[in-house]
Amino acid sequence: PKVWRTHTHTHTHREREREREREREREREMGSFVGHLFPGSLFLLIGLWHIGNSIVKYLGDPQSFRARVWHAVPGRLKHLELYIITVGSFVDMCLEFFYSTHLRFVVDGALNSAHMNDFEHAAMLLMFFLFGASALVSETTRLISLPDGALYVIIAMAFTAEYLLFNFHSTSHAGLEGRYHELLVLLISLCILFALLNAAFPESFVLDLASGILVTLQGLWFYQIAFTLYGPWMPAGCHEQPDGPSCESPDFEMRGQSLAEVQLSLIVSCLLVVVTAFYGVAVKICGHPQDLAFFSSNHYKNHLQSQDTSF
Q: What is the rounded radius of gyration, in angstroms, for the C-alpha atoms of the chain? A: 25
109 vs 80, residue with greater confidence: 80
DSSP state of 69: S
pLDDT bracket for residue 122 (50, 70, 90) = confident
**pLDDT (tens digit, 9 = 90+) per residue, 227-237?**
999 888 899 89
How far CA 180 is from CA of 17, 42, 172, 222, 224, in Å, comes to 33, 19, 12, 9, 9
Residue 114 has a pLDDT of 64
CB neighbour class for 188 (10 Å; exposed up to 12, middle 13-18, buried from 19): buried
pLDDT bracket for residue 14 (50, 70, 90) = low
What percentage of the chain reaches a pLDDT higher than 70? 77
**pLDDT (tens digit, 9 = 90+) per residue, 128-179?**
999 999 999 999 998 888 999 999 999 999 999 999 998 886 555 678 988 9
How far CA 214 is from CA of 162, 186, 208, in Å, comes to 14, 10, 10
Choice among 39-43, 177-181, 239-243 with the minimum mean pLDDT: 239-243
> What is the phi/psi pair of residue 247, to 5°?
-105, 150
pLDDT bracket for residue 304 (50, 70, 90) = very low
How far is the C-alpha of 220 from the C-alpha of 212, rounded, in Å?
12
CB neighbour class for 266 (10 Å; exposed up to 12, middle 13-18, buried from 19): exposed
Domain locations along the chain? 25-310
**pLDDT (tens digit, 9 = 90+) per residue, 193-212?**
999 999 999 999 999 999 99
How far is the C-alpha of 107 from the C-alpha of 88, rounded, in Å?
29
How far is the C-alpha of 8 from the C-alpha of 26, rounded, in Å?
27
169 vs 91, residue with greater confidence: 91
Residue 230 has a pLDDT of 87
How far is the C-alpha of 96 from the C-alpha of 127, rounded, in Å?
14
Neighbours of 26 (CB within 10 A): 10
